[in-house]
Structure 1
Amino acid sequence: MLSPLPPLYALRAFDAAALCGSFTRAALMLHVTPGAISRHIRTLEENFHCQLFLRNGPAVELTDAGRILASQLRNGFATLESACEAFRTTRHGLRLKAPSTLTLNWLLNILKIFVEENSTPEVHVSSVWMDVDHVDFYQEPFDCAILLGNGQFGEQTVSQLLFKECLAPVCAPGLLEKAQHNISACELIHPSPDRRDWRRWLKGSPFELTLDISKGKVFDTLEQGNQAAAGGFGVSVGDVALSIPALESGLLVMPFTRTIETGDGYYLVWPSDSPKQQGIETLCAFLLGHIPDISTCVK
């Protein structure tokens, strides 16, 4: 069993005294008397059975034990201060977690329009790389998240499908003809270490038995795969919806018209007991009205 914690106000007084190097300045910082600071320090010294400060009249100096405690407490109070400040600045807004590729290629533009058309809620987006998209609303500081998956994101969550994942090969215009005539002669680019995207696109295609997906360059994200493909380093598999900016600008082209839906999709996810339900529903409705249109890319 853990020992009871000392009083928080005593720990705060010690932290202030350690920062200021003076009981008097610590008292001014916390709006109490120097005598109160001294009493709080004595409470801690009795609790920990060691001396935390060397006292020489008005001058005080941390002991070795005091320096160790001060360092560890400062980290703890810094975390508390950061959490409180984050709460103050975001309690009237929505803290949104989203995958980095989706954020760069769709979400940032959509949120810019959202801000122009809506005064509330204020959305604070955190772009995060995730090997497998997930969120823990009870451990992470988010009110909602956009995640790639099958719609099952754990108990006590609600999810709304925004758009489905649709894959197709992409390459630089200079590789278009070569890829169309002999894709086996092209370097493959894998946007994930498990090479699942090529495997899924090839299943049932004329190339399924002839294309060796054990070879090629391997990256961590679709965005990295697309950038390598745009640089002419090979043919990647891209999510068509998230490749629209590169396709429309001509950085990438699609050598084949065949696209496949993976069965996964991008979902807006939030806790079922969220106190910010109204703001989340406002954001959700807006996102559903601005989903990527892949029809202009798939001929």
Structure 2
Amino acid sequence: MVSYHMTERIPPLYALRAFEVAARSCSFTRAAQELSLTQSAISRHIRTLEETLGCRLFERNGPRLSLSDEGRRLSSQLKIGFRIIEDACQPFRGQGANLRLKSPSTLTMRWLLHALESFKRPAPALPVQLSSVWMDFDSVDFYSEPFDCAILLGNGNFGAEVETCKLFDEWLIPICSADTLGDQPWGTERLQAAELIHPSSDRRDWRRWLNRMDLAGQVTLSKGKVFDTLDKGAWGVDWRSVSGR
């Protein structure tokens, strides 16, 4: 009969937590912000976990970071595991029930925080635990993610088991500084020559707008700067609409 200590089979919990958070956004910087650690600490935790498991969890393609096949499998299981741990600890916190809400970060800053203040007045007894996310704001898995409700971007079809309520429409409008706008009309050539600003690494917003304007494939999306939120790209700039709206 073979006996062993269970702890010898489990990687360090802090390393698992660091990986789970980093895997959500594929960003060590954002994981460090969420866990109040340094980026180098997150990197060390991930390296420790990779050495313990004997496999690579992330792959780097230039400046972009993505999950390996092993990383995707581990991430999906850890989401479930940490949700179980959180649910198990919740009754012992002495705080009563919390409404756990997931929301895109820019929407949180520009609208949700003010809306929650209005919500607290008629319902002060229901604490709201808010998690703002930089990415992964068009889907939610209530079985594996630690949320009770979520504000998502989409057409409302998020699964038969999810009850939805439309809040408002989102309008995508390209804008630029007044100096960049100039007096000449904007066409494909000017867009191709311009330095585009992207709020996400997948560049989805510009891709959606170009598709809607029948300009798909006519403007290179791989160039330009990527910001966590558009607010960072707009600091100190007098913006004007490119599309005339």
Tell me the TM-score normalized by structure 2.
Answer: 0.54
**Per-residue deviation at 1:171?**
2.4
In structure 2, which of residues 190, 199, 224 is the aligned counterpart of residue 217 of structure 1? 224
* C-alpha contact (below 8 Å) 2:186/2:242 kept by paired residues: no
- AA at the equivalent of 1:137: F
For residues 76-126 of structure 1, what are the alpha-carbon distances to aligned partners after superposition, in whole Å with 9 as ceiling and x for unaligned? xxx777544434456523111112222222212221232244314221111
For residues 128-175 of structure 1, what are the alpha-carbon distances to aligned partners after superposition, in whole Å with 9 as ceiling and x for unaligned? 233462211122221111111111111211111101121001223443
Q: Which residue of 2 aligns with 1:167?
A: 172
Asked if residue 148 in structure 1 is aligned to residue 153 in structure 2, the reply is yes
Q: Which residue of 2 aligns with 1:186?
A: 194
Pair 1:179–1:136, CA change in 2 (3 A)? farther
Greater Rg, structure 1 or structure 2?
Answer: 1
In structure 2, which of residues 191, 205, 221 is the aligned counterpart of residue 197 of structure 1? 205
Q: C-alpha separation between the residues in 1 aligned to 2:12 and 2:241?
A: 55
Pair 1:176–1:229, CA change in 2 (3 A)? farther
Where in structure 1 are there 5+ consecutive unaligned residues?
A: 1-47, 51-64, 233-250, 259-299
Q: C-alpha separation between the residues in 2 aligned to 1:137 and 1:181?
A: 44
- AA at the equivalent of 2:143: Y
Task: Indicate the structure whose relative CO is greater, using CA pairs within 8 Å and at least 6 residues apart.
Answer: 1
Tell me the TM-score normalized by structure 1.
Answer: 0.46
Q: Which residue of 1 aligns with 2:241?
A: 254
SS for the counterpart of 2:151 is strand
Matches of residues 1-299 of structure 1 in structure 2 within 5 Å?
50=3, 69=7, 72=10, 83-87=87-91, 88=93, 91-131=96-136, 133-177=138-182, 183-184=190-191, 185-203=193-211, 205=213, 208=215, 212-214=219-221, 216-219=223-226, 221=228, 223=229, 225-230=230-235, 252-258=239-245
For residues 203-255 of structure 1, what are the alpha-carbon distances to aligned partners after superposition, in whole Å with 9 as ceiling and x for unaligned? 565x949962345315265x1x44224466xxxxxxxxxxxxxxxxxx53324
The Cα RMSD (Å) is 3.9
Q: Give % identity.
A: 39
- AA at the equivalent of 1:188: L
* C-alpha contact (below 8 Å) 2:197/2:227 kept by paired residues: no
SS for the counterpart of 1:163 is coil
Q: C-alpha separation between the residues in 1 aligned to 2:85 and 2:236?
A: 45
Equivalences, count: 173
